[in-house]
Amino acid sequence: MSDPLVQLLEIELNGSNPDSYEAPFQWRIKLDSLVDFTEPIAISFVWVGSASSSEYDQTLDSFDIGPLSRGTTEFVLECDAPQVGLVPPSDVLGVTILIISFQFKQQEFLRVGYYAQVAYFDPHLNQCPPATVDKTNLGRFIAMPQPVVTLTPITW
């Protein structure tokens, strides 16, 4: 286990925020690599569908980046929106979490978590939600300035 050989310099959500629930995410990411790698870094995006069970977590997309060369690398990734039909109806509205996981050789070395608020754009629908989720009026807001960042030592 050692200090990270890849550091996250910047991460930014491009596009509208809030946005439609069904809109894909686009992220600009800037990493600094302290060495030349021979294998890629994996990045996955996970939407937590329910606080009560991880069975509702959705992997929105996974990407292999690299192998990275020593220095700064900047790239943009677009990942799918969560599927509202895979979230328990009682958990669709409210606060959830979007996790961006960075792994090397299947070991997570960095996790960035954002709180996400899911609500209808129409305040009346939030006060009196329809029995069936109305996807066309559903929105999401990612709390960008307040990510939770976790570093985990790994074997590089």
pLDDT digits (tens, 9 = 90+) for 59-107: 999 999 999 999 999 999 999 999 999 999 999 999 999 999 999 999 9
How many Cβ atoms sit within 10 Å of the Cβ of residue 142?
16
Give the start-to-end residue ranges of the domains of the chain. Answer: 6-151
- The CATH label, of 3.40.50.620, 3.30.70.260, 2.60.40.1490, 3.40.50.10800, for the domain at 6-151 is 2.60.40.1490
How many angstroms separate the CA atoms of 97 and 84, rounded? 14
How many angstroms separate the CA atoms of 103 and 130, rounded? 40
Please report which helix (H) or strand (E) contains residue 26, including its range.
Answer: strand 25-33
pLDDT recorded at residue 99 = 98
